[in-house]
Amino acid sequence: LTVQVNKPGAPIAKTMYGLFFEDINFAADGGLYPELVKNKSFELDEHLLGWRGIRGAAALSTYTVSSQQPISNANNHFLRMTAATASPDAGFINEGFRGMGIKQGADYTFSVYLRRGPGSVSGLNVTLEEEGQRGAGPEAAGSGNVLAQTRITGLTGEWKKYSVVLKSTGTAPRARLKLTMEGAGTLDVDVVSLFPKDTWNKRENGLRTDLVQLLKDMNPGFLRFPGGCIVEGRNLTERYQWKETIGDVASRVPLVNRWNMEFKHRSTPDYYQSFGLGFYEYFQLSEDIGAEPVPILNVGMACQFNSAELAPVAGSTAGGPNAPAASRGHNHADDDPTLETFIQDALDLIEFANGPASSTWGAKRVAMGHPTPFNLKYIGIGNEQWGPQYLERYEPFMKAVKAKYPTMNIVSSAGPSPDGELFDAASKRLRELKAEVIDEHYYAKPEWFRQNVGRYDNYPTTGTKIFAGEYAAQSVAIGSPDNKNSWDCAISEAAFMTGLERNADKVIMASYAPLFAHVDAWQWTPDMIWFDNLRSYGTPNYYVQKMYSTNPGTTMLPMQRADNAKNGQDNLFSSAVADDKTGEIIVKLVNYSPEARPVTINLQGAKKLGKAGKATVLASNDLNAVNTLDQPLNVAPKDASFKVSSANVTYTLAPHSFTVLRIPGK
Ligand code: AHR
């Protein structure tokens, strides 16, 4: 192998390796966003989702979800409990998100809005307890160990917020919260929250620390959010509307999640977005982990695999029978969005992120606690959309954004399949329109990734760049619940990525998808990071991504094989970059064969070579190997140093391995 150190190529974009976040598989509520109470405000169509009356609410004479004199117009439903006689069972249990993960010695802020009605209710008893025996029935009272307990008193006839910190005496992966009335009478309850004190950067509405740490450890170049198909929604009513996700957390109106469907482990769909993790928090997260924020916005189309509803374009009849349905989801504005609505949302978002305090939307960011701009440089218009309907909307959208914000980089969409005719036509037109970046998605078998390593070799170096915005090797088939995050998938992605790196003058962003999955609540496999209520782990795919994103380099270096064989021939894949900041040459090598493989790397024209390099090796003899919660490091990188005695570096690649060599030299 030859690396032409003396013929450096184009710079590598700082955004090269990043993250794709979508609220799928309980990635937000029940995952990264650590609120433990499910449906805290009773605002869903199914108002009592996640709540159960103790012993079937037998101790209550009535309970109802009321909207009489609510806390606010945005939050206009609450739970009203009435007990004719006092009883320790007069109350409700919240089940959490497949239970609540509670840690011994940790502090949790419990808060609630209460209003006393007729009768003599003197307080609210709050108990955090283990779920108890499975099969005992979630309604059973007191079946588990008590982890923490408190009493809230001083109730009044007006809505008032109460807040208290609970310290847990034990650890439980599946706890639940029990609220019972003290005395007889009526009590109104709303915005019930149990939030860990230990959040990323100790923020009040902060994120789950272990999951953010896994992201930060990757040194990601960007964070794409909030999806994925949830940007589009199954229909336009259920589209993602960023403006409904900012401001006071208690007033954010929840929405059914586009991925609300039967789970492998549960037959009743129960997935919604609380928006506690909203656009402000996404920007903040991007800043925390050092990633460029890349919000993806709805182009005026619902998911083309579902309803394919279209927002009307001025002067066009394209809305037709696919125009948005007249009836809106619960509590969501009964709007009839036109393309203008979507364009305005995008312009307002840019103002929210970057505008001064004197601007309407900039002022909202400042009011939320971020006086400095978020320095937004990229926005995506549409997710995974294609065909004339997309282009008809994309073009005026893009022009309006450019007219107001000429330096904004626009990420355009190219549909789900990288090889179809529609895809080619859309890409051609987007290039003609001088789109900055096209977002390509590939979910395919592992062999596709190895066979397509040269995908961008002949792509033009000028004009539109590529964002490999969603990709993952599928061990069984796309959409199969049996896909595994196997080493075979991960090593095949590593092989493919040598092709991205060799074409870093054309590909400027890449992200694996989806990012997160809860082990008890997922709809999609494979996923990069898995977690339960207390633990989390990176898959072999995570480590592949991390090895690229923590070794991105700054400048491309040409790399060839002495026998002129193509990259990937004989199952050997390679790429090289220089890190001008550290003065190192970084070589990435994938050996997709069951035998060890000695290689000699000729560092042509290299100067100032050090005496030792660092090798990071990810390997397994078993292509089916996976990581799990109990064996999180089954396939994990190992570091070692190796000798560098001349510009001809020799190294033996392990069987079925991905190796990153860092060699001091320029
Ligand atoms: O990553 C899961 C889904 O795959 C995304 O929501 C969508 O963009 C793609 O089809």
- Residue numbers of the domain that contains 127: 51-196
Tell me the mean pLDDT in the region 378-390. Answer: 94
Confidence of residue 264 (pLDDT cuts 50, 70, 90): low
DSSP per residue, 496-565? HHHHHHHTTTTEEEEEES--EEETTB-SS---SEEE-SS-EEE-HHHHHHHHHHTS--SEEE-EE-TT-P
Q: Of 196, 228, 251, which closes a domain?
A: 196
Is 633 a member of any domain? Answer: yes
Tell me the mean pLDDT in the region 336-351. Answer: 96
The one-letter amino acid code at 195 reads: F
57 and 190 assigned to the same domain: yes
Regarding the beta carbon of 288 and ligand 1, being less than 6 Å apart is answered no
Mean residue pLDDT of the chain comes to 93
Residue 600, both tokens: 């000699």
Confidence of residue 178 (pLDDT cuts 50, 70, 90): very high
Count other C-beta atoms under 10 Å from residue 654's C-beta. 18
- Torsion, CA 137, CA 122, CA 46, CA 30, rounded to 10: -70
pLDDT tens readout for residues 397-417: 999 999 999 999 999 998 777
Tell me the mean pLDDT in the region 216-242. Answer: 95
- SS3 state at 80: strand
Is 485 a member of any domain? Answer: no
pLDDT tens readout for residues 594-619: 999 999 999 999 999 999 999 999 99
pLDDT value, residue 266: 65
Regarding the beta carbon of 383 and ligand 1, being less than 6 Å apart is answered yes
The one-letter amino acid code at 138 reads: P
Confidence of residue 320 (pLDDT cuts 50, 70, 90): very low
Concerning whether 262 is annotated as a catalytic residue, the answer is no
Which atom of ligand 1 is the closest one to the Cα of 513? 1
Is 228 a member of any domain? Answer: no
Regarding the beta carbon of 415 and ligand 1, being less than 6 Å apart is answered no
Give the chain's count of helices (H) and strands (E).
Answer: 10, 34
Distance CA 309, CA 298 (A): 12
Regarding the beta carbon of 620 and ligand 1, being less than 6 Å apart is answered no
* Catalytic choice (131, 309, 384, 470): 384
Confidence of residue 331 (pLDDT cuts 50, 70, 90): very low
Kindly give the distance from the C-alpha atom of residue 286 to the centroid of ligand 1, in angstroms, as a whole number.
Answer: 21
85 and 188 assigned to the same domain: yes
CATH of the domain at 559: 2.60.40.1180
CATH of the domain at 178: 2.60.120.260
Regarding the beta carbon of 439 and ligand 1, being less than 6 Å apart is answered no
**Ligand 1, atom 3: closest residue by C-alpha:** 228
Is 310 a member of any domain? Answer: no
Is 180 a member of any domain? Answer: yes
Q: Is the pTM of this model over 0.90?
A: yes
Q: How many domains does the chain have?
A: 2
56 and 189 assigned to the same domain: yes
Is 328 a member of any domain? Answer: no
6 and 75 assigned to the same domain: no
Kindly give the distance from the C-alpha atom of residue 228 to the centroid of ligand 1, in angstroms, as a whole number.
Answer: 5
Contact in structure between 511 and 19 (CB atoms under 8 Å): yes
Q: Of 142, 163, 196, which closes a domain?
A: 196
The one-letter amino acid code at 490 reads: A
pLDDT tens readout for residues 505-530: 999 999 999 999 999 999 999 999 99
